[in-house]
Amino acid sequence: SIKAIESSSKEDDTTWLTYWVVYGVFSVAEFFSDTFLYWFPFYYAGKCVFLLWCMAPGRCSGAQLLYQRLIRPCFLKHHRALDAALGALGTRA
């Protein structure tokens, strides 16, 4: 999804691909922290509000904001190492 977002051909799918990238990162982080977070009051209500904010259309979209400020800089910094690791993993498989 990140490769599709960063490609030169921009289409309608960029908005939803951005959401799915943010949702994927959120799901991985939640997998490790859910054991502790579900004890907090209104955790699930806050999670629902967060995901709705990420799906919001237009410039106020939380997914766009999080992707541009957090995920994209990290990806651009490490994408060569990720491609090399996935390439090596593919040859081993």
pLDDT tops 60 at residue 12: no
**What tens digit of pLDDT does each residue of 68-88 get?**
999 999 999 998 998 899 899
Residue 1 placed within a domain? no
**What tens digit of pLDDT does each residue of 23-67 get?**
999 999 999 998 888 888 999 899 999 999 998 887 778 998 999
Residue 41 placed within a domain? yes
Q: Determine the Cα–Cα distance for residues 36 and 39; give it in Å rounded to an integer.
A: 6
Q: Determine the Cα–Cα distance for residues 44 and 93; give it in Å rounded to an integer.
A: 39
- Number of domains, the chain: 1
- Residue 11: per-residue pLDDT: 59
Structural domain boundaries enclosing 67: 9-91
Q: Across residues 16-29, what is the average pLDDT?
A: 90
Residue 3 placed within a domain? no
pTM, two decimal places: 0.73
Q: Is 53 exposed, middle or buried (0-12, 13-18, 19+ CB in 10 A)?
A: middle
Residue 4 placed within a domain? no
